Amino acid sequence: MCGIIGYVGSDQVAPILTSGLKNLEYRGYDSAGVALADDVLSIHKREGTIDDLTVPESTATCGIGHTRWSTHGPPTDTNSHPHTDCTGEIAVVHNGIIDNYDALKADLEAAGHEFDSDTDTEVIPHLLEEALERYGLPTAVSRVVDRLEGSFALGVVAAGRDEIVAARNDSPLVVGHADDGAFIASDVTAFVEHTRDVSYLEDGDVAHLDGGDVRVYNDGQRVDRPIQTVDWGADAAEKGGYDHYMLKEIHEQPQALRQAISGRIDAVAGEADLELSLPEQYLASLDEIQIVACGTSYHAGLYAKRLLERHAEVRTTVKIASEYAFSPSRDPWRTLVIAVTQSGETADTLGAMRRASRAGAKTLAVTNTVGSTAAREADDALYIRAGPEIGVAATKTFASQVATLALLSVYVGRTRGTLSSSDASDLLEHLRGLPGAVQQVLDEEPRVRTVATEYADGDAFFFVGRRLGHPVALEGALKLKEISYDHAEGFAAGELKHGPLALVTGETPVFAILTDGTSPDETLNNVKEVESRSAPVVGVSSLERAEKFLDASFSVPELGLLEPLVANVYLQLIAYHVANSKGRAIDKPRNLAKSVTVE
């Protein structure tokens, strides 16, 4: 979704903004622009990619930039940010939605303000134009923000003022602290090559960046937002020789998994150490766990449900966050709501988490992003430690989410006394084996590419699996459809004969998951059903006897209940190579955004 970058300091701002916008590209956008604040304000913006945007050389040392993902009004030059007031002296970039913009716009138009764009954002510079007649920039922004309803992260500059004012409500915004100045951005990736020292703004904060001096106010009071140092640098956010971030991130999975489990496993004692602050007594007395998530994270939640029910013997439901209504089976305070979210900023997931929290449930955020809204708002946070993921299609973070949730299932199971230390040791040993097993799959990439290319022209692609194979089938289909734009569906294998079988022809490759934890023998019967309708079947399998029924087969190393997770890596590679053979924009698929910050 929209991305914001801003800098004020002693360096020239134009190249900083351009490279910051490049770093934000992965969030998804359809137009981009910058405002350079010198004695006069110069605005450069247009629909299209950042490469299409020409930012002239400038001596300005203060400015803001934006990547726009359209919500109000189509992607056009005029609708691109920054937006300005009637005088052209105030510029604003905005991420989020202003719910009451209609009413504000009507009042402003009645007062003589003229609007250029279809956006909700444009009301803000016009409101600021009035407020600046009476106040300095920080106070003017505070006054205007008080009138806005909805979600927003804002960056504001004005002609002749070497300062940026930023504000946040419900949309992420971080401040970067460098020796020669300060940054604002939607996420740390935007400026990490300049500084790793960041502070995270909270809802209601208004930050005043006056050169390197940063002051933050909330409700009129000065507040302290501590500076933290991120533990990764610019190279973690680069392609490292791969053609696409997605491929790099697929190959980073062994390392990401090592990070997810590092220091958290005592396989001999059969214990997981997660440093949770949720009291053990509370976990022991839980009635129910509800997992809320979207997209790939939802699939990780479906995987985790089976592990939690099996190891911790606690009823677990998984809800798509945008459909979630909190309805505990018994006491709200005996219901733990787990929000699974890579970014920690997904609006639907935050909304679900907040509804549960208001109703009295405790919340746990399982996230990749330190300092994210989910991590800060939840009662407790569990980090998946995957490192930055730039490709829009989530890959390594799915693996790290499932591994971390598997550890959680051991931790809760041991706490509740429902999991023996020897069963826990088995699972923990499998977790230790996970990075090596994933590496074995990655070593098979040349053969996966051949098979993917062979079937790339299918009319549609189906993925089937049972039990733990079902979320993996859903995830395999999601990956393929989002980056190849081909029709792909995942099904519980047993459901095929209840309808989807009607779609199966000789031109619909079917991918079947046939590993431990997926009732492979039963799925094999479904494989025979589709084969007799002449569909080619590709198996991802740890079942040797399945091979004779498959047109192509990839072997999954033995790893108990984690085999389906390993199988998923084959499906990621299939999706990548199908999409790549068609020349798709793999890291930035059309219409999609990495961080979905609107409901």
Stretch that binds ligand F6R, among 19-27, 289-297, 461-469, 536-544 (CB under 6 A): 289-297
Give the nearer residue to ligand F6R in terms of CB position, either 195 or 572.
572
CB of 527 to ligand F6R, least distance (A): 26
User: Does 346 help bind ligand F6R (rule: CB under 6 A)?
Assistant: yes
Report which of 149, 16, 19, 158 is spatially closest to residue 85, judged by C-alpha positions.
158
User: Does 363 help bind ligand F6R (rule: CB under 6 A)?
Assistant: no
Give the nearer residue to ligand F6R in terms of CB position, either 320 or 442.
320
User: Does 541 help bind ligand F6R (rule: CB under 6 A)?
Assistant: no
CB of 170 to ligand F6R, least distance (A): 15
How many other β-carbons are positioned within 10 Å of the β-carbon of residue 443?
Answer: 9
Stretch that binds ligand F6R, among 14-22, 51-59, 280-288, 295-303 (CB under 6 A): 295-303
Which residue do the tokens 């945008």 mark?
A: 322
Stretch that binds ligand F6R, among 94-102, 301-309, 338-346, 490-498 (CB under 6 A): 338-346
CB of 260 to ligand F6R, least distance (A): 15
Q: What is the DSSP letter of 170?
A: B
Residue among 67, 171, 296, 526 that touches ligand F6R (CB under 6 A): 296
Cα–Cα distance measured from residue 63 to residue 155, given in angstroms and rounded to the nearest whole number: 9
* Active-site residue, 588 included: no
Residue among 14, 207, 394, 540 that touches ligand F6R (CB under 6 A): 394
How many other β-carbons are positioned within 10 Å of the β-carbon of residue 196?
Answer: 18
CB of 290 to ligand F6R, least distance (A): 16
Strand ranges in 368-429 using DSSP code E only, listed in sequence order: 380-383
Which residue do the tokens 């072997």 mark?
A: 555
Residue among 140, 283, 596, 598 that touches ligand F6R (CB under 6 A): 596
User: Does 484 help bind ligand F6R (rule: CB under 6 A)?
Assistant: no
CB of 482 to ligand F6R, least distance (A): 6
- Give the angle 95-382-293 at the CA atoms, nearest 5°: 55
Cα–Cα distance measured from residue 389 to residue 341, given in angstroms and rounded to the nearest whole number: 12
CB of 398 to ligand F6R, least distance (A): 8
Of 105, 305, 319, 594, the active-site residue reads 594
Does residue 315 contact residue 309 with C-beta atoms inside 8 Å?
yes
Residue among 187, 252, 377, 482 that touches ligand F6R (CB under 6 A): 482
CB of 221 to ligand F6R, least distance (A): 32
Residues 364 to 393 in contact with ligand F6R, rule: CB under 6 A: 393
Residues 452 to 481 in contact with ligand F6R, rule: CB under 6 A: 478
Q: What is the DSSP letter of 82?
A: P
* Active-site residue, 594 included: yes
For 443-493, what is the HEC assignment? CCHHHHHHHHHHHCCCCCEEEEECCCHHHHHHHHHHHHHHHHCCCEEEEEH
DSSP string across 192-242: TTT--EEEE--TTEEEEEETTEEEEEETTEEE----EE-S--GGGGS-TT-
Classify burial at 210, counting beta carbons within 10 Å of its beta carbon; exposed 0-12, middle 13-18, buried 19 or more. Answer: middle
Chain-centroid distance of CA 599 in Å reads 14
Give the nearer residue to ligand F6R in terms of CB position, either 342 or 541.
342
User: Does 295 help bind ligand F6R (rule: CB under 6 A)?
Assistant: yes
Q: Please identify every residue annotated as catalytic.
A: 2, 594
Residues at the contact surface with ligand F6R, assessed by CB under 6 A: 294-297, 341-343, 346, 349, 393-394, 478, 482, 596
